[in-house]
């Protein structure tokens, strides 16, 4: 009797372990998560566009477990002097939060800060004359702040 019970208990334990193991695997982020994250945090405009498209359709990327939260430009104005920097700040937050979550932030910080600066300069490219100069100066200031304190 004890032998049958022990055999049944062992079989049940193995079956439960298999189910739990399968569930854990099903909930794990896809293997290409690091590649997707890297592709969305490069300095180029196409990287920014791909990230922004994904941001507007976050549910399609739910299996990846990305952290989309943002405080935009933290304690700095999101739209200083009317320059719309908030989306650039949101992408910068995305990179910081997800690389910190992956435990590889220090390896990627310089690139993330550079991508942020390039995003800000793309915002400024829509202006001319003195307004562009003011925007570029503000972008430089924001970049220097994240480079030093981010």
For 70: left if phi > 0, alpha if psi spans -120 to 50, otherwise beta; the answer is: beta
**Residues 39, 41, 47, 49, CA torsion sign:** positive
Length of the chain: 150
Q: How far is CA 29 from CA 11, 24, 25, 64, 81, in A?
A: 30, 10, 9, 5, 40
CB 113 within 8 A of CB 125: no
What token pair was written down for 87? 């989306």
Catalytic residue among 2, 72, 92, 108: 92
Active site residue 2: no
Q: How far is CA 100 from CA 67, 82, 97, in A?
A: 10, 31, 5
Catalytic residue IDs: 92
């Amino acid at each position: 009797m004890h032998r049958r019970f022990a055999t049944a208990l062992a079989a049940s334990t193995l079956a439960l372990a298999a189910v739990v193991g399968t569930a854990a695997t099903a909930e794990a982020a896809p293997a290409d998560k690091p590649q997707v994250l890297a592709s969305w945090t490069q300095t180029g405009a196409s990287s920014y566009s791909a990230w922004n498209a994904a941001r507007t359709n976050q549910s399609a990327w739910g299996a990846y477990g990305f952290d989309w939260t943002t405080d935009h430009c933290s304690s700095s104005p999101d739209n200083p002097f009317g320059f719309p920097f908030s989306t650039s700040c949101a992408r910068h937050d995305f990179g910081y939060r997800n690389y910190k979550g992956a435990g590889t932030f220090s390896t990627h910080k310089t690139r993330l800060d550079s991508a942020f600066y390039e995003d800000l300069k793309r915002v400024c490219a829509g202006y001319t004359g003195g307004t562009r100069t003011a925007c570029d100066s503000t972008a430089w200031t924001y970049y220097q702040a994240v480079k030093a304190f981010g």
